[in-house]
Structures are given as C-alpha cells and as structure tokens.
Structure 1
Amino acid sequence: MANSKRDLFRSRRMRVRSKLRKMADGRPRLSVHRSSKNISVQVIDDAQGKTLASASTLEKDFGLVGKNNIEAAAKIGSAIAERAKAAGVEAVYFDRGGFLFHGKVKALADAAREGGLKF
C-alpha cells in the first residue's frame, strides 16, 4: 500500500531537519510552519532550547489573521528579519520542515534575506 500524505510529510521533515543539524555550526534555526489558513516562523536556538524571535499571521498587528498567501508570507519574512536582528541574530539556517521550497515558503525566505538574515 502506498504511503499516506502525512507519512510522506513526516519523513521529508525529518530528512530535511537531520541534514540541517549536521551543517548548523551553532547557528539558530529559522523554522517555518504553514497551515491552510496561517503561516508562522520562529528563530530557535536548539542549544539552549529557546525561541529567540517569532512572527505569525495570527498576530493582530499585521492585520493578516486567516490569510495564507504569498503577500502575507513576504510580510512575515520581513518581520522575522527585523525581530531576529533586534535579538542579535545575523545568520540562521532555514528549516522548511516538510514543506516544499516554492510559493509561500520561498516568498518568506526571500523577504527574510532582503531583511538582512543570512542563510
């Protein structure tokens, strides 16, 4: 029997994360989560187990609650770049999880790079 979409997603997420851990060099992780209605991102320091910065369309300041499109992803990407720089983070590694790198995830990454994050 073929694997379910959920199983394929989980195996892809673990494959991506295990490869990135080998290349981490002590940098924090920029973790992306995308649901059907919202998109959120966190800068996580895995050594200390702490979230250094986060941004989401669920925050009322952005006025994007319930929006999950490319424009919203770009706004979230620029916001996380500002917040990460305020927290003293310049370089991260990009953890897309099990999500493919196109569309919303790519827009978020491009906006974060334009905001000054290096990955």
Structure 2
Amino acid sequence: MKLSKTDRKLRIRRRIRKISSGTAARPRLSIFRSNKEIYAQLIDDNNGVTLASASSRDKDIEAKGTKTEVAALVGKAIAEKAKKIGVEAVAFDRGGNLYHGRVKSLADGAREAGLKF
C-alpha cells in the first residue's frame, strides 16, 4: 500500500531525528513549515530546552513579500539570536520537508547571517 503524503513526511522526520540531535554547544535548528507561516527553533536535546526561536509571525519581521523572502528573514533573525547566546554552529533539521523553496531560503538566510551548518 502506498504511503500518504503525511505518512511519508512523518517517516522522513523520524529518520532525521534518529541521526541528528542538539547539544548546548551545537543545538539543533528545527524548522516547521505550515501553509502560511514558517517557524525555526534552536533546541538543546540533551537538556530538552529551546534556546531561541523565530517565526514569520514575529512583530520584528516584516511579513511583506513572498513566502520565500519572509523565510529568508526568519533565517537571518534566528542566526542573530544564535549569535547573541553564543552559538556559531548548528545541526540542521528540516523537519521532513524537502530542502527546496522556503526551507532552502531559511537556511540560506541563516548562512548569510553567519550561522554554520
């Protein structure tokens, strides 16, 4: 029987999470993408703590332009917050999404702002 789209995404998400985990020195950059918004979190999996977060719903991010442009702004915002708490490198967790479009735009924005994957 063929997997549904959501089951396939969930299977990919579980496979990624088996491999990648975040520490205090190198947290996991987790991305959640809905139809309208995009969210990013820096997570320390050893302590179970979210260190920083940014989303397209934040007031300091202008929600003007296309969704990919807004995703790039979210990437820059999370990279700036990471620098404030002293994080330079992260483990990238795309959350089962394809590395294309908004996910790629967020990653490129974070790299431009100085975050290393």
How far the C-alpha of 1:61 sits from its partner, in A, is: 2.2
Count of residues in Structure 1 that have an aligned counterpart in Structure 2: 116
Give the Cα–Cα distance (whole angstroms) in 1 for the partners of residues 17 and 45 of structure 2: 12
Give the Cα–Cα distance (whole angstroms) in 1 for the partners of residues 51 and 20 of structure 2: 19
Which residue is 1:16 aligned to?
16
Does 1:115 find its partner at 2:113? yes
Q: Is the 8 A contact 2:29 2:90 kept in 1?
A: yes
Structure 2: runs of 5+ lacking an equivalent: none
Give the Cα–Cα distance (whole angstroms) in 2 for the partners of residues 62 and 87 of structure 1: 20
Q: CA RMSD in A?
A: 1.8
How far the C-alpha of 1:2 sits from its partner, in A, is: 1.4
Structure 1: runs of 5+ lacking an equivalent: none
How far the C-alpha of 1:62 sits from its partner, in A, is: 1.5
Give SS of 1:8's match.
Answer: helix
Q: Which amino acid aligns with 1:14?
A: R
Q: TM-score, normalised by structure 1?
A: 0.89
Give the Cα–Cα distance (whole angstroms) in 2 for the partners of residues 62 and 114 of structure 1: 17
Does 1:77 find its partner at 2:75? yes
Q: TM-score, normalised by structure 2?
A: 0.91
